[in-house]
Structure 1
């Protein structure tokens, strides 16, 4: 690689890195707008808290576990001591290429966002301190090993051995269908099984600000181009194809969700448009480098339609998935990963051949094994982490915190002047007891519920 080309690639990944970094704020707004007016700050804090905890662990040992040389012949984890403290990442590449520090920073954001996705499933009811500990344990025991399986490829000279899904199984996952979305989605399911339902379930607070949710979805959409196209790790044709496929799937996902919503409920909603966008982006994440633009439309449409139907299943099974992490990220991630086995076009950057292109069942089988492996491992370990935490320090906030709102009880803050809002809506009489700045100040003297 020439120095000029290496510089261009580095500039592109730096741009992609900044786009993915903005997804943290996008996710906080997307989730924050969908929860109660009394929980929006807590939701944002859970997202930013996940970034903080995972970022520290990534620098200390997470990058080594995910991208270090495999320990043993099973290719399950990288050597946790290889990049301990990441001092080796200060070195410039021996030949013109992508700086290791930039690659590590880019992948750090993948890890943080994956953990943050889980937060939406337990909105309104999880202790903040328990969430922070859960985020660290889950990243260490689940995300870092699974990232090694999926993202760590063997070095060109064979001196570094990567994970088993990427190298032994050779399943296709361009940007994280299994490691990110299936992983976070099934972990969310395990966590809600342990933590239980909100007191008001199956009723739920109305989204307090759909404009915030749509803004968050738009920011996530912007960042997703860095997430997917940046995973090409070069400024070239692969990144361009991935960007086009990501855009195509997103458009189809919005249309499909709104059609299903209109047919079932008679209305096409802003929340539906936002959800259809995210569902399609989830589905195209693993497939963005493996399908044609027409294939991307199919992936987006299927994910938009099926996820719209899937989110209603939580009521049938009594699962309080607050913000539909399971219905969108788990279902969409599985669909996108499996559809590669059918729709993979050998002309696409990944070079895989799906069943519909004459490739037989080989690719479909590999994709299925990869999905099942991540499902089984992530669910089992997540359930054990959550169960042990619940039996020791507890996961749930007290009942009064659910009633009053976790923003005030846990964080001693309120996103809005609720007295003015409730007076304007005629919900309380002037002088009635409502949550005000004075109440928050008074509560600050009491021990915090973390």
Structure 2
């Protein structure tokens, strides 16, 4: 017995040394600080989805509040299933079909990343889940264009197909290491957190859907007041908070780049809201809560692609420009007469285009110098503008064409535009058999 105890005591230092080495190796592989921030960012981006549900839900009529909020929650459920099945592989797997999309058998159900630590020193599970939240909120944004007039089953099928055939290919082109837009020019198309992948793709699809499905019955003759602007403001606030994870999390780090992205996100959001307020004061003599909320979103959308390359002065300019252009787009919508119910294109599409293109005029000099060194010569703002314009143009054309085809197929098979009776009774009753507030007056 004494011999066994003595042997154990003699071996204890060696055991502790071995365990310490294992811990050291694990620490070297995984950065706990970066991992913690990325876990937080993932939660913040998911928070944006119920925030969007509240933002959109407050803007529709009382009879459609549940139906509209369900569009966001359905995206969490449907894309939440599709992403680990095929979405992550299609988006970030090695390119197939000439680089059109990605695929990796080991990414199916995320089975091949159980022990994978990425070069950024975070578990690949964290990166996969972070990116999955982007895939969730993007189709949810589209729903704002055809709010109050779509069949829930048709919508569910449409966003599932759209995620696979529109979002995943564009994501692969822009963010995968072998994507052709990622490698275009000296340093690829600049899209730090989703100007093309998220906002332009969803905004353009929203416009196509609004035109294809037609106006709500009674629009624009009948006044369609928001049912709860208080809820809309709360939703806008949640989106603003969540956007720090959206943009700063896209650094996939916890360092200077993260701090820069967070700072310019704050500046652009405030600048967008401030500019929108000023415009309304000059145009109508009063600032509206809806205008403030719209300005916040316009600034946030515009800074999304630029968060990694501009300084606060550039963020202020982009926020202000986005407010001006998005406000103008909404005014133009009224004159043209198409029914983008909640201005999904007017804010996300237009704001995304403004941010993706105008960012080149505010890029920090160090970024341009690094791009020039990469090509072994000079690299000008105008050359980068050409790269940005190519990415924007490809995204617009592809999203528009494929989305139209998907809308046509879903409408002709399952059905997407609801009947007149169902529309008049409201989505809450006709699609879900519920009422948001339990009120008698549902208009």
TM-score, normalisation: structure 1: 0.87
The ranges of structure 1 where at least 4 consecutive aligned residues each deviate by more than 4 angstroms after the TM superposition are 348-353
Rounded to whole Å, the distance in 1 between the matches of 2:370 and 2:260 is 13
More helix by share: 2
Match of 1:133 in 2: 157
Q: 1:350 to 1:282 in 2, by over 3 A?
A: farther
Contact kept? 2:280, 2:286, Cα under 8 Å: yes
**Which runs of structure 2 are paired with 1:10-409 in the superposition (5 Å)?**
10-72=35-97, 74-79=98-103, 81-93=105-117, 97-153=121-177, 162-169=178-185, 170-202=188-220, 203-347=222-366, 359-409=380-430
1:26 CA displacement: 0.3
Rounded to whole Å, the distance in 2 between the matches of 1:142 and 1:204 is 34
1:121 CA displacement: 0.6
Contact kept? 2:275, 2:323, Cα under 8 Å: yes
Q: Deviations over 1:424-450 (max 9, x none)?
A: xxxxxxxxxx89xxxxxxxxxxxxxxx
Say which one has the larger Rg.
2
Q: Deviations over 1:395-433 (max 9, x none)?
A: 1111112212110111011111213xx5xxxxxxxxxxx
Q: Which runs of 5+ in 2 are unaligned?
A: 1-24, 373-377
1:266 CA displacement: 2.1
Aligned residues: 410
Rounded to whole Å, the distance in 2 between the matches of 1:351 and 1:243 is 22
Q: 1:371 to 1:319 in 2, by over 3 A?
A: same
Q: Deviations over 1:167-186 (max 9, x none)?
A: 23411110000000000000
Q: Deviations over 1:97-144 (max 9, x none)?
A: 111111000000000100100011111000000000001010010001
Q: 1:277 to 1:181 in 2, by over 3 A?
A: same
Q: 1:5 to 1:82 in 2, by over 3 A?
A: closer
Rounded to whole Å, the distance in 1 between the matches of 2:371 and 2:337 is 39
Rounded to whole Å, the distance in 1 between the matches of 2:408 and 2:132 is 27
Q: Deviations over 1:367-406 (max 9, x none)?
A: 0000000000000000010012212222111111221211
1:4 CA displacement: 8.6
Report SS of the residue matched to 1:418. coil
Report SS of the residue matched to 1:248. helix
Deviates more, 1:89-98 or 1:24-33: 89-98
Contact kept? 2:106, 2:113, Cα under 8 Å: no
Contact kept? 1:20, 1:227, Cα under 8 Å: yes
Rounded to whole Å, the distance in 2 between the matches of 1:274 and 1:368 is 28
Contact kept? 1:253, 1:276, Cα under 8 Å: yes
The structure showing larger relative contact order (alpha-carbon pairs under 8 Å, at least 6 residues apart) is: 2
Q: 1:400 to 1:165 in 2, by over 3 A?
A: same
1:346 CA displacement: 2.8
Q: Which runs of 5+ in 1 are unaligned?
A: 154-161, 423-433, 436-450
Rounded to whole Å, the distance in 2 between the matches of 1:85 and 1:291 is 37
Contact kept? 1:32, 1:41, Cα under 8 Å: yes
TM-score, normalisation: structure 2: 0.89
1:328 CA displacement: 0.3
Match of 1:8 among 26, 30, 33: 33
1:318 CA displacement: 2.2
1:34 CA displacement: 0.6
RMSD: 2.1
Rounded to whole Å, the distance in 2 between the matches of 1:53 and 1:94 is 27
Report SS of the residue matched to 1:414. coil
Contact kept? 1:143, 1:179, Cα under 8 Å: yes
Report SS of the residue matched to 1:165. coil
Contact kept? 2:120, 2:252, Cα under 8 Å: no
